[in-house]
């Protein structure tokens, strides 16, 4: 069966109450759209996670936006895998552009987090993407390969079955970002898929690769129709349940509901 991955990272926007309201609405509005191959996920702030898990009623996968690589210790302000495990989530976003570029996370930090997530049985959603400068200097391929090769260093072929990757060009993300054209996105996604196949010869080709960066109702269909795009990771355009549900419907219709 073909699978499709559609999700949103709520960043630092919604309070607990707003998160719960959003999830209840989204659950309702997507009730008729859900199908076996659809992986629908929402990634709220840490503080809202327990309430979010309850509100999603198992119908929407809930994930965390970050995680420390250590189980416990002198790490003020960090959240450990053990803490997230008790909440009952299984998806951890790692290495989002804002973590890398506003908080200085390196590929080596990202790698430690990916390994910790896998060790604890989570699905790591590894985010990668080139900056505007990488694009200008023509080193997008090198950047993506480096992020993957370091980020996934030490991951076994068996563990790779649980990995998800999101390609999010830094220049395409957020207010002021401009979406990649479907052709550009597809080319980068193919580089990612080829690298994953090289790193994990047995099953690297099965790792889902999502696209993110200014996805909205106008460009979602064109993006999802690209052969190397397995899903969409959406920010702003998904933060109202109604507009996210509309994009989900549109994307499922584009695939003629073969999921
Ligand atoms: P955006 O965010 O859709 O608002 O550009 C994407 C992201 O940061 O994942």
Q: Is 236 in the pocket of ligand 1 (CB under 6 A)?
A: yes
What pLDDT shows up at residue 166? 98
Q: How far apart are CA 138 and CA 17, in angstroms?
A: 45
Residue 78 CA, ligand 1 centroid: distance in Å: 23
Angle at which helices 16-29 and 241-254 cross, to 10°: 40
Residue 242 CA, ligand 1 centroid: distance in Å: 17
Q: Is 148 in the pocket of ligand 1 (CB under 6 A)?
A: no
Alpha-carbon distance values, 186 to 24, 240, 256 (Å): 33, 27, 20
- How would DSSP label each residue in 160-172? HTT-EEEE--GGG
H/E run at residue 61: strand 61-64
Q: Quick one: tokens of 52?
A: 């979010």
| Diameter of the chain measured on Cα atoms | 51
> Do the Cβ atoms of 144 and 130 come closer than 8 Å?
yes
Cα 252 to chain centroid distance, Å, stands at 18
What pLDDT shows up at residue 34? 87
Q: Is 233 in the pocket of ligand 1 (CB under 6 A)?
A: yes
What pLDDT shows up at residue 256? 61
pTM strictly above 0.95? yes
What pLDDT shows up at residue 159? 98
What pLDDT shows up at residue 71? 97
Helix (H, G, I), strand (E, B) or coil at 19: helix
Catalogue the active-site residues. 96, 168
Angle at 117 between CA 86 and CA 194, to 5 degrees: 145
Averaged pLDDT, groups of 10, the chain, 259 residues long: 93 98 98 93 98 97 98 98 96 98 98 98 98 98 98 98 98 92 98 98 97 97 96 98 97 78
Q: Is 216 in the pocket of ligand 1 (CB under 6 A)?
A: no
What pLDDT shows up at residue 149? 98
Closest CA to 233 of 84, 63, 59, 46: 63
H/E run at residue 89: none
What pLDDT shows up at residue 225? 94
Token pair 């909205």: residue: 216
């Amino acid at each position: 069966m073909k699978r499709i991955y559609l999700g949103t990272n709520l960043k630092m926007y919604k309070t607990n109450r707003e998160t719960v309201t959003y999830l209840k609405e989204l659950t309702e509005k997507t009730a008729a759209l859900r199908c076996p191959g659809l992986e629908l996920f929402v990634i709220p702030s840490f503080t809202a996670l327990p309430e979010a898990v309850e509100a999603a009623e198992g119908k929407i996968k809930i994930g965390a936006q970050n995680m420390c690589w250590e189980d416990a210790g002198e790490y003020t302000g960090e959240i450990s895998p053990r803490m997230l495990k008790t909440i009952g989530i299984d998806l951890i976003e790692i290495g989002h552009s804002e973590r890398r570029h506003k908080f200085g996370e390196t590929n080596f930090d990202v790698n430690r987090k990916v390994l910790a997530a896998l060790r604890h049985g989570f699905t790591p959603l590894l985010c990668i993407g080139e900056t505007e400068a990488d694009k200008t200097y023509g080193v997008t391929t090198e950047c993506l390969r480096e992020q993957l090769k370091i980020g996934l260093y030490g991951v076994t072929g068996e563990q790779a079955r649980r990995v998800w990757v999101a390609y999010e060009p830094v220049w395409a993300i957020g207010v002021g970002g401009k979406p990649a054209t479907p052709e550009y996105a597809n080319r980068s996604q193919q580089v990612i898929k080829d690298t994953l196949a090289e790193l994990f010869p047995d099953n690297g080709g099965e790792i889902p690769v999502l696209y993110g960066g200014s996805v909205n109702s106008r460009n979602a269909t064109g993006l999802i129709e690209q052969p190397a795009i397995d899903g969409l990771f959406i920010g702003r355009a998904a933060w109202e349940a109604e507009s996210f549900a509309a994009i989900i419907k549109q994307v499922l219709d584009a695939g003629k509901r073969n999921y």
